[in-house]
Structure 1
Amino acid sequence: MGIGNIGLPGILLIAVVVLVLFGRGKISGLMGEVGKGITSFKKGINEGQQELEEEAADTAKDVTPETDKDKV
């Protein structure tokens, strides 16, 4: 038997023990913090993607070749 063989009764027992040890208020506060962290992470990823897309759009706009003014 390994840890990968827990099953539903084992998970329920672990959940009850954690609930008794920490209490409902602490667990709900912790889950709220985890949710905020996930939301912040997703927001950061979206901002990074938008920044990369804006950089790519800026470089795609400037396709005019540079001319040498001394040759003319």
Structure 2
Amino acid sequence: MGSFSIWHWLIVLLVVVLIFGTKKLKNIGSDLGGAVKGFKDGMKDGSASADAPAAPQQVTANKVNDPNTVDVDAKTKS
């Protein structure tokens, strides 16, 4: 009663393919594989950068005048 037989899993697989279709399942599989690969690359890069000392970041004039930067100073209404 605890485990399913191979026939149960084949029926479940058939129902999933009928519901989602093979193209959508292929896309889900490739997206999942890409996410796993990206995670592994990120972990590899993270361990390499953890060994090296971090360089201090400097704010340049270009960053201050960037139109996408939000000014966080509160202004009073007059």
TM-score normalised over the length of structure 2: 0.61
TM-superposed CA distance for 1:7, in Å, is 2.6
Match of 1:31 among 22, 29, 32: 29
- Give the alignment of 1:1-72 within 5 angstroms: 1-2=1-2, 5-55=3-53
* Larger fraction in helix: 1
Unpaired stretches in structure 2, ≥5 consecutive residues: 54-78
Q: Deviations over 1:19-42 (max 9, x none)?
A: 011111110011111011101110
Query: In the aligned structure 2, how far is the partner of 1:11 from the partner of 1:45?
Result: 34
For normalisation by structure 1, the TM-score amounts to 0.66
Once residues 46 and 8 of structure 2 are traced to their aligned partners in structure 1, the CA distance between those partners, rounded to angstroms, is 41
The one-letter code sitting in structure 1 at the alignment partner of 2:42 is: G
Structure 1 unaligned regions, length at least 5:
56-72
Moved over 3 A (4+): none
Q: Select the structure with the greater relative contact order (CA < 8 A; seq sep ≥ 6).
A: 1
* Larger-Rg structure: 1
Report the AA paired with residue 30 of structure 1: I
